[in-house]
Structure 1
Amino acid sequence: MAPRLCSISAAARRLLGGPGSVPRDVVAVAAARFYSKDNEGSWFRSLFVHKVDPRKDAHSTLLSKKETSNLYKIQFHNVKPECLDAYNSLTEAVLPKLHLDEDYPCSLVGNWNTWYGEQDQAVHLWRFSGGYPALMDCMNKLKNNKEYLEFRKERSQMLLSRRNQLLLEFSFWNEPQPRAGPNIYELRTYKLKPGTMIEWGNNWARAIKYRQENQEAVGGFFSQIGELYVVHHLWAYKDLQSREETRNAAWRKRGWDENVYYTVPLVRHMESRIMIPLKISPLQ
C-alpha cells in the first residue's frame, strides 16, 4: 500500500518560495532584541527570595517579572503525519517574516518538533513585548496580512488539532535568549492543584540555583489564559546523555531533594517532551 502524501497547493508553493528561503538573520536579530542580567544574591538571601503572601495580590502580579511587560504564547500543533515535512517548510518560509518585521510587536522565542512525547507535533513559543496591548495590536494587523491569511488557510489542511496558552514568565527564571546549537530541548509541563501556584513559586525561587551551572535553564512560565494552573519549564541540553548527567548532578546538591519533596504533592499531572529545533528557531 503506497504511503499517503501531503498535497501542496499552488498557493503553498508560492509561500514557500525558492530553495534556501529560510532567513539567516533570524537568530542574529533575536539575539539583538534580548538582554541578560547577572544573577545576584548570596545563598543565604536565596532562602528568603520571592517569599510572597498569597493574600496581598493576584498570583500573576506576585510571581511575574515587574521590570518587563512581556506576554508569551505557546502553540501546540498536531500535524498529519504525512504532512510534517510540508508543514515545517511552510512554517519556516512565513514565520520569520513576522519575527523580522518591526511593525509587529512579536518575536519568535523558539520553534520545535517533538522528538519524544507526542509525535508529529510542532511547538512554537512567541513573545509579545508590551503585554496584552501588543498581542491585540499584532492580531489586528494579521487580520489584514494577506500572506499570513493564505498561510493559515494552507496550514489548516495539514493539521489534526491545535491549542494554545497565554503565559507569563516567573520572576526568578532566566529570560529566554537565543542560543547556538546544536541542542535538544526539554519542555516539562506541570498541571498543579488549584491554589498551589504561590507555593510552587516560593519553592522554585530557592531551587533554581541548583539548575544553573550548565546554563540548562532556558525559561519558566505559568498559564494565564487557556488551561490554568499549568507550569512550563524549558531546559536545553547538548544531548540525552548530557541531560541525564545534569539531572543526576542536581540530586547531589544539598537542598535539591527538599524542593522535590515539597513540590511533588502540588502536582496533579506532569509531562516531558524532548524537542528538536526547527531551522528558524532562535533557540538552536
Structure 2
Amino acid sequence: MLAHLVSKFPRRAVPSARRAISVQSILHGSKEAKEVGDHEIQQHSRLVARGKYLHGIEIHRVKPDSVKEYKKAAERYYTGLRDDSELRIKLSGNFEAIVGEQDTFYHVLEYENHSGLDKAWKKIPGSEHEKAHDALRPFLQSRATQLAQEFAFLPTSPPHEEGGIFELRAYQLLPGTLLEWEATWRRGIEARRKFVEPVGAWFSQVGRLHQVYHLWQYPDLQTRKEMRERAWEVDGWADTVHKTSQLARTMDSLIMIPLPFSPLK
C-alpha cells in the first residue's frame, strides 16, 4: 500500500538542497520533512482521503445541571439543519459520552465537500437555525469544531444492527505521520473486520490538526471486550497496534450512546 501511495507523488524539479528529501522522511516527520512545508501535507491529505464528503465534528461540553435542557435544544437545532433541504446537511451521528469526559456530546455532520459547507454557512446567518444555535449556548461550558475527511479505506457507513454502544477512539498523531498511520491501518483493519465493522474513520484538516478518529459499534461492553481480545489472535493485528502506538502522542477511548434523533442508533 505504501509503495503505490509513494508512486502517486508527481515528479517535479526541486532545488538541490531539497532533492534528497524522500517520502519516507516525510512520513516519519524528520527535520528535513518539516522544512518542506504545508504543500506536502496537503498532498498527503489528498492521497488518504476519500474526498467525496467533508465532515464537521462538533464537541460540546455541557454544564452538568443543564444536560436535559441541552438535549432538547440540540435536537431542535440539529434536526432543523437536517430537515432544511437548501442546506444539504446530513447527520452522520449525534452522541453522548458515558465513559470518558462526562457531560460531553459529539455531533458529526456531513457536507457535500468544502463548497457544500460554504453554501450552507452562507444560508445560516439570520435564519431560524442561527436562533436555534444561540439557544444552545446558555447550556455550554465550551465547544469546539473540527473539519475532517474520511479515510478512503474506511468510508462512513451505517451499522448493520441497531442498538448497543459506540466507541470513539481519538488519536493525536505526531506531525508528519499521517501516511504511515493510514498504510499501517489499511493492512491491519482486516483483522478487526473479522469481528466488527467500523462505522467510520476521519482525520482532521481544520481545527486541532493531526487528529484521527475511529468509530465502532458493539452490542455491549462485554462483546467489545471479547471482540478486541479475539482480534489479537489474527496475524497482523499486534503489529498494527505496535506501530500505530508509536505514531500517536495521545490516545483516548470514549464510550457513547446515540441521542434519540441520531441516525446511528
Alignment-derived partner of residue 4 in structure 1: none
Measured in 2, the distance between the counterparts of 1:148 and 1:139 equals 11
Q: Are residue 103 (structure 1) and residue 56 (structure 2) matched? A: no
Q: Amino acid of the residue matched to residue 55 of structure 2?
A: Y
Distance 2:83 2:160 in 1: 17
Cα deviation digits, residues 7-47 of structure 1 (max 9, x gap):
xxxxxxxxxxxxxxxxxxxxxxxxxxxxxxxxxxxxxxxxx
Assess, with a 3 A threshold, how the Cα gap between structure 1 residues 209 and 49 changes in structure 2: closer, same or farther: farther
Aligned position for 1:139: 121
Tell me if the contact between 2:164 and 2:217 (Cα under 8 Å) persists in the aligned partners: yes
User: Among 34, 53, 61, which residue is 2:46 paired with?
Assistant: 61
1:261 deviates by 1.8
Whole-Å separation in 2 of the counterparts to 1:189 and 1:126? 17
Q: How does 1:123-202 map to 2 (within 5 A)?
A: 123-129=106-112, 131-145=113-127, 147-177=128-158, 180-202=161-183
- Paired residue type of 2:124: L
Contact 2:195 2:231 in 1 (8 A): no
SS at match of 1:53: helix
Judged with a 3 Å threshold, the aligned counterparts in structure 2 of structure 1 residues 54 and 233 are, in CA distance, closer, same or farther, namely: farther
In structure 2, relative to structure 1, the CA distance for the partners of 1:223 and 1:168 (3 Å cut) is same
Partner of 2:5: 52
TM-score relative to the length of structure 1: 0.78
**1:182/1:231 CA distance change after superposition, 3 Å:** same
Q: Would the alpha carbon gap of residues 161 and 54 (structure 1) be closer, same or farther in structure 2, given more than 3 Å must change? A: farther
Asked if the contact 1:49/1:206 (under 8 Å) is kept, the reply is no
Q: 2: distance between equivalents of 1:138 and 1:166?
A: 14
RMSD: 1.8
- 5+ unaligned residues in a row in structure 1: which ranges? 1-47
Distance 2:196 2:257 in 1: 18
Greater fraction helix:
2
Q: Distance in 2 between matches of 1:148 and 1:50?
A: 47
Q: Tell me, what secondary structure is at the counterpart of 2:154?
A: coil
For 1:88, the equivalent position in structure 2 comes to 71
Report matched runs for 1:203-218 at 5 Å.
203-218=184-199
Could you say which residue in structure 1 is the equivalent of 2:223? Answer: 242
> Residue type of the partner of 1:144?
G
**Does the Cα contact within 8 Å between 2:196 and 2:227 map onto a contact in 1?**
no
- Taking the aligned partners of 2:115 and 2:159, their CA distance within structure 1 comes to 24
Q: 1:51 to 1:204 in 2, by over 3 A?
A: farther
- Residues 119-170 of structure 1, C-alpha deviation per residue, up to 9 Å, x if partnerless? 00111000002x111001111111131x222212221111000001000100
CA, structure 1 residues 80+49, in 2 after alignment: closer, same or farther (shift >3 Å)?
same
Contact 1:105 1:128 (C-alpha < 8 Å) held by counterparts: yes
- Which residue identity lines up with residue 64 of structure 1 in the other structure? A
Structure 1 residue identity aligned to 2:254: R
Q: Deviations over 1:28-75 (max 9, x none)?
A: xxxxxxxxxxxxxxxxxxxx478422982611111011xx52000001
Q: CA offset at residue 260 of structure 1?
A: 1.3
Contact 2:167–2:217 (8 Å) recurs in 1: yes
| 1:221 aligns to 2:221 (yes or no) | no
Any idea what SS the aligned residue of 1:124 has?
strand
Residues 256 and 51 of structure 1: CA distance in aligned 2, closer, same or farther (over 3 Å): farther
Task: Give the partner amino acid of 1:138.
Answer: A
One-letter code aligned to 2:197: E
SS of match in other structure, 1:74: strand
Question: Secondary structure of the residue that 2:156 maps to in structure 1?
Answer: coil
**Ranges in structure 2 where 5+ consecutive residues have no aligned partner:** 10-39
TM-score, length of structure 2 as denominator length: 0.83
- SS at 2:94's partner residue? strand
CA contact (8 A) 1:174 1:217 kept: no
8 A contact 2:172–2:249 mirrored in 1: yes
Deviation at 1:208, TM superposition (A): 1.1
